[in-house]
Amino acid sequence: MTWFINIFKVWYNELKEISRDEGIMVFILLVPLAYPLLYAFIYTTETQHNLPVCVVDQCQSSLTREFIRKVDATPEVKIAGHALNMAEAQEMLRMREVSGIIQIPHSFDRDLAHGKQVVVGVFSDLTSMLYYKVMLLGVTNVAQDMNRDIKVQNYLHPGTRREEEVARMPIDFEHVQLYNTQGGFSAFLIPPVLMLILQQTLFLGIGMSMGRTRENNRGLVIPPQSGYKHVVSVVLGKSMLYFFLYLVMAVYMNVVISHFFGLPQLMHWNVFFGFMVPYLLACIFLGFCFSAFIFRREDCILLFVFMSVPLLFLTGVSWPGSAIPKIWQWIAVIFPSTFGCNAYIRAGSMGATLGDINHEVMAMWYQAGIYFLLACLIYIWEIRRAVGRTILK
Amino acid sequence: MLDILKRTFLIGERELRAFLSRPIFLICMIVAPLFFMILFTSMMNSGLPTKLPAAVVDEDNTHVTRGIVRILGSMQETEIVAHYNDFTSARKAMQRGEIYAIFRIPRGTTHAALTSRQPKISFYTNDSYYVAASLLMKDMRKLSELSGMAITRETLSAKGVNERAIMPILQPIVIESHPLGNPYLNYSVVLTNLLVPGIFMLVILITTSYVMGIEWKRGRQKELLDMAGGNALVAVWGKLLPQTMLYTLLMWFAQAIFYMYLDFPCECGIERMMLWGFMAVIASQGLGLFFFEVFVGEMRFAMSACSLWGVLSFSLAGFSFPVSAMQLPLQWLANLFPLHHYFLLYEAQALNGYPAMYEWKSILALLGFSLLPLLFLPRLKDGFLNKEYVP
């Protein structure tokens, strides 16, 4: 029974300490609550629509005008200007009035009439890879559509409407964008960002509170209170505090943020808890291990904040996991976010069951176990040190 | 004047001694940035990810469809890692994360195609993994288009159209794409080139407020002001100058690796990029100092503000998700991030080789960030004299 009371004592003492510290509260309350809203707001437009481009139409025929009209009508591209020559168009590009140039050669009509291929140039600004993708998609769709018309009208001479349809596209095809039907950024980036926010703010909160205790206790992480004698009760008491707080945060992100910003939600609650519990535990215990290196409270900001961006890449979400060199894949195994982000995406956006994400869930349980033992070792050492200095009777 | 120089030098010396006595400075200011530079350059070494895992569900399984599948397997972005007999097992593999895309040819496709009954083939991409999905989509779309053309081609040659005349009929209008400045669509050129300076700038933001705050934390802010002869500007100047030099060297080292060793495009010449790199360093220092002045004495809030602002800059700089696609208030907000301006300068100058004057706004903005703390110097001086460290 005493060990149970000890856990509670540690929990209560930590709660008291943390609630007095506004610096920690910023990271474990404000950031998990507010940052996701901001991120979701950034990506809420999903993708680039109506990219402004400029046309250099050197042919000026009714056919090229039809081409330009059709391009303008695509959701991807907007004709924002016409230029007489490439030099003028490039000037518009430099002034950032447009993000791309479509060049139609003067031989457009003549070549088509002679049965020759014509080449339409698409010059896209690489300010963002998305500009390139969007512009090429819009223009290619129009070109393919017109190609089919030209092919059918000039060469194939179908008899009936149905024959014309078949002649236009002898094999029809469709592209289905699974799990992110708008093909947008928010359904793709927000889930891993949410998981990373959980992990990073946990590291920061735990690290800061460790730094705080050290500063107040002349370098010791074990405060001179009763209840801190046994290592398991220290580790469990401390982790309980973060665990329940962060479970609330995780539910908040999964419900409020996802609902607010229309992210795909295919997850059952048992799946959610099935991976969130090991994820949070692994993050908390790893946070304990890292915080052994934190001697001043501000140090953890220095050490943890800039890890966020590389960790996002190591999850294999934004940069395809299969293209990441092996050595980095191994380093990524250290961090719970690598498995947590993928589990959350698969379960939340793709409706995977616990069986489908078994690999990730097991990996996180292993992490939780290993980091728990490590954290215990660190605290055993710290308790001995504290006893050695006879602060703890 | 000589007096100021001497004081700057003395404060700088004091600062260097502080660096050497604390391993955390070494780790954060030198080891970590270099480590992340190695991480990003090696991760994106391939430039464009290729051979991404995909699966095929070929329910028809004739020599025609097998031919199509073979072509898919030979395409640049696609690696067919599995064949499934039904769509459900393929979808399950996708949910397990084994594949990013499924190419499906339904039963009877060949027969329907040969008898002009317009079969439909489909491909499914997992757009939760956006980059992989986009790349695979490109391949699969091209293949679908080609399969249809192959049928028309047979029809045309049956009608006696000769080989040379067929292509112009199949594809009268050809789109030729010219990705400006980065013809190989090397992702590394876009991402590494900005992620690494971005990380540097984040580190600068945080460490600037850290080294300032540590004076208050140790209760030595008055000693520092005395060394500076009561001039807050000299105190800051002497304290931050060693960092300016260190970070500028790091930035130049990264740029030398990018433009001389990795041969990333640099149309404007490396000297010009080094100048923008230097300006980005002092702009970040200026912003970090500004945040410190706003929360003078309250180091934790200054550092929190710096970290939150710095992490946000990776999203708002606009090199992954373009600023022009964001909501209007965010488009304004983006201007308040030095990384955004460094990015615009990099893009206009190194990638496209436009004259610098086209980006005068960004140059001014970077200068503005560097000079911003001057406005709040009186507040800082007041902080030196009257504020104590708040834990």
Per-residue model confidence as pLDDT tens digits over A275-290: 999 999 999 999 999 9
One domain for residues B287 and B196: yes
Cβ-defined contact of A303 to B182 (cutoff 8 Å): no
Among A42-46, A92-96, A219-223, name the most confident range: A92-96
For residue A120, give the H/E element and its range: strand A118-124
Residue with tokens 């791309």: A100
DSSP labels, A45-86: T-S--SEEEEEEESS--HHHHHHHHHHHHSSSEEEEEEESSH
Q: Give the tens place of pLDDT for each residue, A121-175.
A: 999 988 778 888 889 999 999 999 998 888 888 877 788 888 888 888 888 888 8
For an interface test with B, the pick among A70, A95, A117, A127 (most B C-beta atoms closer than 10 Å) comes out as A127
Closest CA to A356 of A345, A346, A348: A346
| Alpha helices, DSSP H, located in chain A | 2-20, 22-25, 31-42, 62-73, 86-94, 108-113, 129-151, 161-168, 186-216, 231-252, 258-260, 269-291, 299-304, 308-314, 326-332, 336-344, 358-388
What is the band of A390 on the pLDDT scale with cuts at 50, 70, 90?
low
First CA to last CA distance, chain A: 20
Q: Is residue B177 part of a domain?
A: no
Q: Give the tens place of pLDDT for each residue, A287-306.
A: 999 988 888 888 888 888 88
Listed residues B143, B170, B197: the one ending a domain? B170
Is B333 near chain A, with CB under 8 Å? no
Instruction: State how many domains chain B has.
Output: 2
Mean pLDDT of B77-92: 92
What per-residue confidence (pLDDT) applies to A173? 87
Is B322 near chain A, with CB under 8 Å? yes
Residue-averaged pLDDT of chain B: 88
One domain for residues B122 and B210: no
Residue B391 and residue B379: Cα distance in Å, rounded?
A: 20
Is B195 near chain A, with CB under 8 Å? yes
Is B371 near chain A, with CB under 8 Å? no
One domain for residues B96 and B27: no
One domain for residues B15 and B96: no
Strand blocks (E) in chain B: 52-58, 78-84, 101-105, 120-126, 173-179
One domain for residues B234 and B199: yes
Mean pLDDT of A366-387: 90
One domain for residues B208 and B153: no
Domains and CATH numbers, chain A: 2-44+182-388 (no CATH), 51-168 (3.40.1710.10)
One domain for residues B122 and B232: no
What is the band of A200 on the pLDDT scale with cuts at 50, 70, 90?
very high
Q: Which chain B residues contact residue A317 at CB under 8 A?
A: 128-129
Mean pLDDT of A17-29: 87
B154/B272: higher pLDDT? B272
pLDDT at B2 over 80: no
What per-residue confidence (pLDDT) applies to A391? 53
One domain for residues B165 and B205: no
Cβ-defined contact of A170 to B155 (cutoff 8 Å): yes
Mean pLDDT of B136-165: 86
Mean pLDDT of A342-368: 90
One domain for residues B166 and B212: no
Counted residue by residue, chain B has a size of: 391
pLDDT at A65 over 90: yes
What is the band of A79 on the pLDDT scale with cuts at 50, 70, 90?
very high
One domain for residues B205 and B120: no
Residue with tokens 């489908």: A356
Residue with tokens 């950024």: A185
In B233-292, the residues whose Cβ lies within 8 Å of chain A are none
B189/B84: higher pLDDT? B84
What per-residue confidence (pLDDT) applies to B229? 83
Nearest CB to B124 within list A27, A178, A351: A178
Is B165 near chain A, with CB under 8 Å? yes
pLDDT at B363 over 90: yes
Q: Is residue B39 part of a domain?
A: yes
What is the band of B13 on the pLDDT scale with cuts at 50, 70, 90?
confident
Q: Is residue B179 part of a domain?
A: no
Is B27 near chain A, with CB under 8 Å? yes
Which residues span the domain enclosing B69?
Answer: 52-170
What sign has the CA pseudo-torsion B265, B269, B272, B278?
positive
What per-residue confidence (pLDDT) applies to A393? 46
One domain for residues B95 and B25: no
Q: What percent of chain B has pLDDT over 90?
A: 36
What per-residue confidence (pLDDT) applies to B335? 93
Buried b (16+ CB within 10 A) or exposed e, A59-84: beeebbeebbebbbebebbbbbbebe
For an interface test with B, the pick among A199, A298, A313, A349 (most B C-beta atoms closer than 10 Å) comes out as A298
Q: Give the tens place of pLDDT for each residue, B240-256.
A: 998 999 999 999 999 99
Is B110 near chain A, with CB under 8 Å? no
Any residues with CB less than 8 A from the CB of A9 and at least 6 apart, and which? A225, A226, A227, A233, A237
